[in-house]
Structure 1
Amino acid sequence: MSNGRIKRQVLIVDDSEINLALFEALVLKLGDIEAKSMASATEGLAWAQQHAPDLIIVDYMMPELDGVQFIERLRATAGKDGVPILMITANDQKPVRYRALNAGASDFLTKPIDKVEFLARCSNLLALSEMRRKLDDRAAWLADEVRLATAKIVERERETVIRLAKAAEYRDPETGAHILRMAHYSQLIARGLGLSEGEQELLLQAAPLHDIGKVGISDSILLKPGRLTPAEFDTMKQHAAYGYEILKESSSSILQTGASIALGHHEKFDGSGYPGGLVGEAIPIFCRIVAVADVFDALTSARPYKSAWTLEDAATHIRSQSGSHFDPACVAVFFELWPEVLEIRERFRDDD
């Protein structure tokens, strides 16, 4: 450190010890410089590839690699496309200069070196390097700010989902624990089916919205303790479309996915479901997954109008409906991951 500043690193590569000593003495005049002098081009290249010099001064005529080859190999190294390189040569022919520029040289000088010109060019290239580093730091800072802002947006979306789900809860005897269980069952099935981590996370966040449309169903039907009449059931079925209408125009991918799930989670694999009577893979995969997760948890949960089924009875029912109500692939992975199903059920138990 000098005056609180980090020293700038300058790599000098030249097979002549005299030139190395001269160039190092000159660059040290610029102040705040740490010079690294190397007589071997291959060793200098290896060092440059592993470090972050602010400037490289390289001779053209060297026995292992000439200056152009040095530059070409360095520029081909990831992250080394911006470091300034000053090439020095005794050859003043234009073709060599063209090769140097095409290889990625930032500037060049011809021997014998004029000290004033050498210092001026080095100073300019070091200033360029400093500006590049500041831009890189600014870009990294902006990237961090974008990540933080995105995280806040995602968190607000999740809060919106939870609050919407709670709005449905107040109208429905289902519990908050049910919403958490069925969402995690859904994520588990998605993982077993090989969906991406992003899709699994999206499903986990959107699944709680599956019954949001129940806010549009009257209490006399929604809270009825006994079996619904055919007319009442037809009214109840409208909650799928209501949920879709509530969520469909959101710009949030979570709410858009929730709209699709709300609309399709009562479709059945054999086409006997509602509201569209879709068959098989025409039903969106998220809806097929949620159907298994939602029904299983509803069966095994106590409600004011029914007792909870045993795990064995619920499992038997789910298996018996594979291929009719449920997608057989979803059913298969659900039971392949049965120990994790039980762990989720235990983790999100209803309050007594």
Structure 2
Amino acid sequence: MNIAIIDDTPVNLVLMKSLVQRLGLHECMTFEDPLLGLSWCLDNPPDLIIVDYMMPGMSGIDFVRRCRLETVLSDQPVIMVTAAAEKEVRYAALEAGATDFLTKPIDKNEFNPRIRNMLKLRASMVATSRRAEELDQAVRQATSDLLAREHETVMRLARAAEFRDPETGSHIVRMARYSALLANKLGMSAADQEMLLHAAPMHDVGKLGTPDFILLKQGKLTPDELIIMRKHAAIGYEILKDSASPVLRMAAEIAVSHHEKFDGSGYPRGLKGDAIPLVGRIVAVADVFDALTSQRPYKPAWPNEQAQAFLTRGRGQHFDPQCVDEFLGAWDEVLAIQALYQD
């Protein structure tokens, strides 16, 4: 272990260093100047500090107080060397953060066990800290694994909905990436951007409850069929709501709100403007853009410029104006996502 000894009396430094070296293979640094000793300790945090009380420029109590203000020296054992009669000094040293005391003149029969005890204490503290770090790492890994499994389940459920819907396989990946990009441009936190990336693919999970004769119909839906088709937003909400998972709760909010329109003409609740959850407004833009620019059995893919114009025309009516502006303002990034995740 590393031990720092600070004492303005050279003979005391020699004596204490010699006693320390007899205890084992410990590195021992000595300093007559407390300021130099403090500077070294800050750069090379020792396992034990031995400091004299009476020193020029800085008392031992001030030295201890300065150590305890620094994170790197906040919990190292500190032994202060005082005269036996200096009880008030000892009380003040304890208040400042000293761990133990040595009495002048130095007696090896006192010195040896106190140093051994402090080094054992330090070893125990280091072992506890390492164990805490190991446990913290294990918890982080377990949490990461749990989230990974949750995200996999979410994606597989989204894929299940996709298999019943004549949409392209990469649609949910692209629209989720568009959604996360737009969330970033709108200033959402990194954690919320990540959550949206995993929640957005669930936007149409309610189509699991839509009859095949409607979902797979090639032609235009009748008014009655359209009513049934639109129920998928509420069905998706019912599937996902009340989950213990924050991702699934966000997905429920997206499922029920991504078909709302900014002017209030959407469904299922007819929400208007900011009453529509932000994640729903974001996914509305991302989902429509990708649907327009993707090939379907019933239509060819639109050129990007045509889809861009559609978003612009729908600004303030179908879509949140700010969402449209930020999406089109990040056009190069949008095209990069489109190119990377092709069908």
TM-score bracket, normalised by the shorter chain, equals over 0.9
User: Is 1:254 aligned to residue 242 of structure 2?
Assistant: no
The equivalences for 1:13-92 within 5 A come to 13-90=6-83, 92=85
Describe the superposition over 1:306-334 as per-residue Cα deviations: whole angstroms up to 9, x where unpaired: 22222222111111111011000000001
Residue 7 of structure 2 contacts residue 52 of structure 2 at CA under 8 Å; is this kept in 1? yes
Residue 178 of structure 1 contacts residue 297 of structure 1 at CA under 8 Å; is this kept in 2? yes
User: Is 1:336 aligned to residue 325 of structure 2?
Assistant: no
Provide runs of 4+ in structure 1 moved above 6 Å. Answer: none
Q: Equivalent of 1:223, from 216, 224, 227?
A: 216
The equivalences for 1:158-307 within 5 A come to 158-307=151-300
Query: Matches of 1:88 and 1:311 in 2, distance apart?
Result: 79
Q: Deviation of residue 51 (structure 1)?
A: 1.5
Query: Matches of 2:86 and 2:80 in 1, distance apart?
Result: 14
* Worse overlay, 310-319 or 203-212: 310-319
Query: Matches of 1:282 and 1:208 in 2, distance apart?
Result: 22
Query: Matches of 2:14 and 2:106 in 1, distance apart?
Result: 13
Task: Name the amino acid aligned to 2:156.
Answer: R
Q: Deviation of residue 248 (structure 1)?
A: 1.1
Task: Name the amino acid aligned to 1:129.
Answer: R
Task: Name the amino acid aligned to 1:63.
Answer: P
User: Is 1:326 aligned to residue 319 of structure 2?
Assistant: yes
Counterpart for residue 308 of structure 2:
315
User: How many residues in Structure 1 have an aligned counterpart in Structure 2?
Assistant: 343
Q: Deviation of residue 150 (structure 1)?
A: 1.1
Q: Deviation of residue 347 (structure 1)?
A: 1.0
Q: Deviation of residue 91 (structure 1)?
A: 6.3
Q: Deviation of residue 27 (structure 1)?
A: 1.2
Q: Which runs of 5+ in 1 are unaligned?
A: 1-7
Residue 92 of structure 1 contacts residue 110 of structure 1 at CA under 8 Å; is this kept in 2? no
Task: Name the amino acid aligned to 2:207.
Answer: K
Query: Matches of 1:48 and 1:233 in 2, distance apart?
Result: 75
Q: Secondary structure at the residue paired with 1:307?
A: coil
* Worse overlay, 186-195 or 283-292: 186-195
Give me the CA root mean square deviation.
Answer: 1.0
Q: Deviation of residue 109 (structure 1)?
A: 2.0
Task: Name the amino acid aligned to 1:290.
Answer: V
Q: Secondary structure at the residue paired with 1:297?
A: helix
* Worse overlay, 81-90 or 207-216: 81-90
**Identity, % of aligned pairs?**
54
Counterpart for residue 104 of structure 2:
111
Q: Secondary structure at the residue paired with 1:83?
A: coil
Q: Deviation of residue 188 (structure 1)?
A: 1.1
Counterpart for residue 5 of structure 1:
none
Q: TM-score, normalised by structure 2?
A: 0.98
Q: Deviation of residue 54 (structure 1)?
A: 1.4
Q: Equivalent of 1:145, from 132, 138, 141?
A: 138
Q: Deviation of residue 93 (structure 1)?
A: 2.5
Q: Which runs of 5+ in 2 are unaligned?
A: none
Residue 82 of structure 2 contacts residue 90 of structure 2 at CA under 8 Å; is this kept in 1? no
Residue 6 of structure 2 contacts residue 30 of structure 2 at CA under 8 Å; is this kept in 1? yes
Query: Matches of 1:253 and 1:243 in 2, distance apart?
Result: 16
